[in-house]
Amino acid sequence: MNQPLVEMKNIKKSFGRVMALKGVDFSVGHAEVVGLLGDNGAGKSTLIKVLVGYHQPDDGEIYFEGKRVKFGSPREAREHGIETVYQDLALVNLMPLWRNFFLGREIVRRLGPVRYLDRKTMRRIAREALAEIGISVRSVDDTVAFLSGGERQAVAIARAIHFGAKLLILDEPTAALSVGETRRVLEHILEAKKRGISVVFISHNIYHVYEVADRLVILEHGEKIGDYKREEVTPQHVMDLIAAAAGVK
Amino acid sequence: MKGDKVTLRDLLRIKEFGAIVGVTIFLVLFSLLSNKFLTTENVFNTLTMAAELGIISIGVAMLIISGEFDLSVGSVFAVAPMIFATMINAKYDPYLSLIVSLMVCAGIGLVNGTVTLKTGIPSFITTLGMMMFWRGILLAITGGFPIILSRRVDMLQYLGGKVHGGLRYSAIWFVVLAFVFWIVLEKTRFGNWVFATGGNLGAARALGIATTRVKLVNFIFSSVLAGFAGLTTFARFKLVDPTFGQELELEAIASAVMGGTLLTGGYGSVVGACVGAFMISMVRNGLVLAGAPAYWYRAFIGVILIVAAVINARIRKRVAG
């Protein structure tokens, strides 16, 4: 079985007169970390939003685990095991960690006709799942507001792993993080890979991507301008490629 | 892991903490000022007075937590008994009248929610418009005159009639509804979604929560509870005039805020809102018993509201960021 986990073929998407994606091929292998690079407006997020069903493509086909799929909403994609962690849209700051961890997938118990939250179990599982990927929090009753940016990313990643994601899409996970925190987030990505999860890592920062990615895909102006195995390129080469495409000499 | 020792932080994490301390302070204060204050009779009285505002503030708090406002509750508070009284006077069955008046309230909530969520205008505006609209309709239809119940309706006894001394059924409804909505908000999936919807709409959506439905349901809760509160009050007076419930929308918001609810959504408590309503009722009652002129009450509530908001904001910063 050598087919990739995700295969997107000739994806086109326009918004009004703007062609955001001009026929892009994109694939992600099993347990592969793919870095998705490109300047602002290159089409990175549009491509991902098409993949998870937020946008419907105008043209092109998407295969997931070898089957043709058309996700009507991110929720559907999620049910298939595609988990996206957006920068500001992953967690609710004012809510305790355990509530965030189970948001939308709460564990309930029945008492006659009433279904009530099983707080005890959710607290325990959240604590264990976080500890398992090496995040120690003071208390799962603390709100997310008290976590650092890196810890928030880590919680979101732990959540995705816990709920059996097959593909984890991280949108700029290292933006605005300190060096130490970036390191830890990168370790979590490798941890996810070790568990057989594929990762798409969207970033501006080639150095962060280069450290963990198996393959690098570069988009520019809605087109794929590069698709390299990590060994084939240097960060400098990739940077030159992006700069050249953007018209910077 | 948490030890056995209860820390200050654990106490502050109770969202109603500020309001409960406030009530305790006023309880001590007014008991010192008047020996009639801390009697069973007076506590029942206070609870009954708090009930009408409190029932409204339950729905208002739920809605604020999910990130929306309802300024139309004061008008809806009058619309429900107006329909009820008109139907009773036209010889309709009391239960049918009750159901119809509450259904109309649900309809108003549905319109509030649908207009807000479909057009994207702030609910502050939608419900302000609805508040004016219904108040205008009430005035136009009645010509400004009150509607008086023309026959005896036994059912009203169970809405706002006396149970024992100053204790009325409205107080019992208040406690029951507070309990039910406390469960809904704190212990159910829906409650979890309410917090998430108001706390970070984008994240809630990204996690697959039907945020529009959550808000819509809360708009309906808010209207129905306001209508129900109006009916319990009507059951006490057997009369409804078109200015019934004016400014209650603002008092309901004040109750919610005193009880620790964050006006921008995502944080708050139903029980807190009820404690807030109780505090307002207690201050009104306490000032009268202490011999202060009744006019002072509003000024006093204004100050308490601001102080409470400041204290609650401090507490929230500390425990919830």
Per-residue pLDDT of B225-241, as tens digits, reads: 999 999 999 999 999 99
∠ CA B131-B246-B232 to the nearest 5 degrees? Answer: 100
More confident residue, A87 or B75: B75
User: How much is the average pLDDT of A87-114?
Assistant: 90
Nearest to residue B154, comparing CAs of B204, B98, B196? B98
Chain B residues contacting A, CB < 8 Å?
Answer: 1-2, 13, 183, 187-189, 191-193, 195-196, 199-200, 202-209, 262, 266-267, 319-321
Which 3 state secondary structure label does DSSP give B4?
coil
> What is the rounded distance in angstroms from the CA atom of residue A160 to the CA atom of residue A52?
15
Domain count, chain A: 1
Q: What is the DSSP letter of A42?
A: S
Q: What is the pLDDT of residues B119-158, one digit of tens each?
A: 999 999 999 999 999 999 999 999 989 999 988 999 999 9
- Cβ contacts (< 8 Å) between B318 and chain A: which residues? none
The pLDDT value recorded for residue A199 is 95
Pairing of strands A33-37, A198-203: parallel
Whether A81 is in a domain gets the answer yes
Nearest to residue B61, comparing CAs of B298, B270, B282, B280? B270
Task: Find, in chain B, the residue whose alpha carbon is nearest to that of A146.
Answer: B321
Which of 1.10.8, 1.10.357, 1.10.3470, 3.40.228 is the CATH number of B16-27+36-320? Answer: 1.10.3470
CATH number assigned to the domain comprising residue A42 = 3.40.50.300
∠ CA B62-B67-B72 to the nearest 5 degrees? Answer: 65
**Long-range Cβ pairs for the range B310-314 (8 Å, 24+):** B311/B18, B312/B18, B312/B19, B312/B257, B312/B258, B312/B260
Task: Find, in chain B, the residue whose alpha carbon is nearest to that of A79.
Answer: B208
Q: Share the mean pLDDT of chain A.
A: 89
Residue pair A76/A53 in contact (Cβ under 8 Å)? The answer is: yes
Q: What percent of chain B has pLDDT over 70?
A: 98
Please tell me the distance in Å from A8's CA to the nearest CA on chain B. 22
∠ CA B277-B280-B286 to the nearest 5 degrees? Answer: 135
Whether A136 is in a domain gets the answer no
Q: What is the pLDDT of residues A235-249, one digit of tens each?
A: 888 888 888 877 764
More confident residue, B298 or B228: B228
> What is the rounded distance in angstroms from the CA atom of residue A66 to the CA atom of residue B162?
70
Start-to-end C-alpha separation, chain B: 20
Handedness of CA A203, A207, A208, A209 (dihedral sign): positive
The pLDDT-based confidence of B2 (bands split at 50, 70, 90) is very low
Residue that is written with structure tokens 């998430």 in the block: B196
Reading the block at residue B224, the tokens are 């129905």
How many CB pairs lie under 8 A apart between chains A and B? 86
Q: Which of A92, A93, A116 sits opposite B204 (nearest CB)?
A: A92
Task: Find, in chain A, the residue whose alpha carbon is nearest to that of B2.
Answer: A139
Question: How many C-beta neighbours within 10 Å does residue B189 have?
Answer: 19
- Cβ contacts (< 8 Å) between A91 and chain B: which residues? 200, 203
Task: Find, in chain A, the residue whose alpha carbon is nearest to that of B197.
Answer: A92
Cβ–Cβ gap B208/A94 under 8 Å:
no
Cβ–Cβ gap B203/A90 under 8 Å:
yes
> What is the rounded distance in angstroms from the CA atom of residue A39 to the CA atom of residue A204?
7
The pLDDT value recorded for residue A80 is 92
Chain A residues contacting B, CB < 8 Å?
Answer: 73-75, 78, 84, 86, 88-95, 99, 102-104, 106, 108, 114-117, 139, 141, 143-146
Cβ–Cβ gap B192/A89 under 8 Å:
no
Continuous H helices in B66-200 = 73-89, 94-119, 123-142, 157-160, 169-187, 189-199
Whether A85 is in a domain gets the answer yes
Cβ–Cβ gap A99/B195 under 8 Å:
yes
Q: What is the pLDDT of residues A204-233, one digit of tens each?
A: 888 899 999 999 999 998 999 989 998 898
The pLDDT value recorded for residue B4 is 60
> What is the rounded distance in angstroms from the CA atom of residue A234 to the CA atom of residue B113?
55
**Residue A172 Cα distances to A80, A100, A206, A208, A245, angstroms:** 23, 20, 11, 10, 21
The pLDDT-based confidence of B179 (bands split at 50, 70, 90) is very high
> What is the rounded distance in angstroms from the CA atom of residue A180 to the CA atom of residue B66?
36
The pLDDT value recorded for residue A3 is 84
Task: Find, in chain B, the residue whose alpha carbon is nearest to that of A116.
Answer: B188
Q: Which of B188, B206, B266 sits opposite A84 (nearest CB)?
A: B206
Pairing of strands A215-220, A33-37: parallel
Helix axes B169-187, B270-289, angle to 10 degrees: 150
Residue range of the domain that includes A228: 6-95+164-245
> What is the rounded distance in angstroms from the CA atom of residue A92 to the CA atom of residue A90?
7
Q: What is the pLDDT of residues B41-84, one digit of tens each?
A: 899 999 999 999 999 999 999 999 999 999 999 999 999 999 99
Cβ–Cβ gap B189/A106 under 8 Å:
yes
Q: Which of B200, B209, B321 sits opposite A104 (nearest CB)?
A: B209
The pLDDT value recorded for residue B309 is 92
- Cβ contacts (< 8 Å) between A117 and chain B: which residues? 187-189, 191-192
B14 pLDDT more than 80: yes
Question: How many C-beta neighbours within 10 Å does residue B32 have?
Answer: 11
Task: Find, in chain B, the residue whose alpha carbon is nearest to that of A123.
Answer: B1
DSSP string, A151-206: HHHHHHHHHHHHTT-SEEEEESTTTT--HHHHHHHHHHHHHHHHTT-EEEEEES-H
Q: What is the pTM of this model?
A: 0.90
- Cβ contacts (< 8 Å) between B260 and chain A: which residues? none
Taking phi over 0 as left and psi of -120 to 50 as alpha, with beta for the rest, B261 belongs to beta
